[in-house]
Structures are given as structure tokens and as C-alpha cells.
Amino acid sequence: MLEATLFGHEKGAFTGAIAMQPGKFELADHGTLLLDEISEMPLALQAKLLRVLQEREVERVGGRKPIPLDIRIVATTNRDLAEEVRSGRFREDLFYRLSVFPLAWPALRHRPADIVPLAERLLASHAAKMRKPVARLTSEARLCLLGHTWPGNVRELDNAIQRALILQQGGMIRPDDLCLTAAAGFASLARADTSETDLTPSVAPVPAEITGALGEDLRRREFELILDTLRAERGRRKETADRLGISARTLRYKLAQMRDAGMDPEAALRSG
């Protein structure tokens, strides 16, 4: 549970607590602890966090001895915390305790000049982790990135780049490789570079055997993406699911699909 993760627990504090475990606060003593998406913390846990920040000490779950802390806290959120306070979803006293030096960072859609350089940096980073050659973004893919609204900000961009790195062929990333729902934004940007001539292509029906082959190819690439991400995360499934932008349950389902298809994910990881 989150409380035990943050504050630690004593042996026998709850079912499965077979040994004492220090929490994130203890492990970050004399350092800095990042609390990501602080606005999602339950109100009951917010009260306990407030006490830790005020007293500069923590008690493990199931323990009675306070442990002094010398720690710096950095908290992040994608919500308006002042509005969360007004709506009763965030404690006002905790809000003011955290607001020592507030910083506001614009959403990715408001920083279009950063999108392509950040995408290229992520490409290089993930290519190195996956031991793949660095692919290049086509001009159409760059327009697609700029036309997307990025509601998930950098996390969404990171996931899109990882997918594209697996789906690309020939070392070039095209719009389809990004798997973004950016048709409207991409179309508006593309129209700026075309004349007023009607360039709408005619669409012929796609034979069933081709769509079937495409589906199999996409499934194979999806499995490759999952395996490559598992290797990059050294088999850690929670981290793999987070990086892929899916739930742990969905990851388990995908691994089961791989086994049903005759693949052995565990053997593939060992051989990788």
C-alpha cells in the first residue's frame, strides 16, 4: 500500500510484512524526494504527509518510534492545486506547506518549439536502451508531432516515440508509426503547404487478405515492443507497463496472448 511505500513498515505490521522495510522518506534522508502527481494522493494520506513535513520525522507503519528526517521535498501535479483546495479534494494546510517555491511549467502543446528536439532526444535515448539504430523523423512525422495536442504531455510523447521506434522500417519514422490521433491537427498544418487544388485521393477498398496480414504484422510488432521494453526494464513488469502506458493487468493479458500464440516471453528475455 502507498502508506507503507512512503513511510516504511515494521515486521508484522500487516499481512505479508515478513521483514522491516524502510520507506521512501527514510531512503531519501539527507537528499531530495520527488512526490509525483501529489494531487492524486487520498485525503487521509495527505494528513499523514502533512505531519511528516511539519515534524520532520516519520513513523513506520506498525511502529511507534519517530525517525528524524533531513529531507527536501519536490511535489509535482498537472492540476490546479488551488482549485483542488477549493473543491475539497486537497488539504489547504498541505497546499501552503508545499508552496514554498512554486514553479509553473507550460504544457507541451504550449511549447511547440520543444516538441521535435525533445522527440529526437527521446529517440536517441530509447534506441540506445533497446540496442537499435537511431531512426530519423520524416518531415511528415514532424508535422504530425506538431499537430498533436499532447494531453498526456511528455509521457505521451515518450510512449509515442517508443512505439514508433519499433514500428518504423528502413530507419525512417512516418506518421503512421507514431500511432497518434492527430489527423485534424496534421491536416491543418499540411494544408498550409499545398495549393487550393483539390488533392483528396480516391480510396480503393482494401482486400481482406491484405488487412488480415496487416493485423498479424501489427500484432507481431506489438509483441516485439513489449519484449524490448521488458528487456530495457530488466523484466520489471510494473515499470514496463508504466513505460508502455498500459495497466499491469493489460500487460499480463498481452503476455498471455503471446503464450497462446506459441511464444515464450520468459525464454525470450533470457536469450535477450
At 252-261, the pLDDT tens digits run 888 888 888 8
d(CA 137, CA 139) in angstroms, rounded, equals: 6
Q: Are residues 8 and 80 in the same domain?
A: yes
> Are the beta carbons of 179 and 217 closer than 8 angstroms?
no
Q: Are residues 155 and 237 in the same domain?
A: no
Which DSSP string do the residues of 231-262 spell out, in sequence order? Answer: HHTTT-HHHHHHHHTS-HHHHHHHHHHHHHTT
pLDDT digits 0-9 by tens, 45-101:
999 999 999 999 999 888 888 999 999 999 999 889 999 999 999 999 999 999 998
Range of the domain at 9: 2-98
Q: Are residues 70 and 14 in the same domain?
A: yes
Distances (CA, A) of 184 to 37, 144, 200, 228, 231: 30, 10, 15, 31, 36
Q: Are residues 93 and 113 in the same domain?
A: no
- Model confidence at 188, pLDDT cuts 50, 70, 90, reads very low
Torsion from C-alpha of 111, 112, 115, 117, nearest 10 degrees: -100
> Are the beta carbons of 7 and 23 closer than 8 angstroms?
yes
What's the whole-model pTM score? 0.54
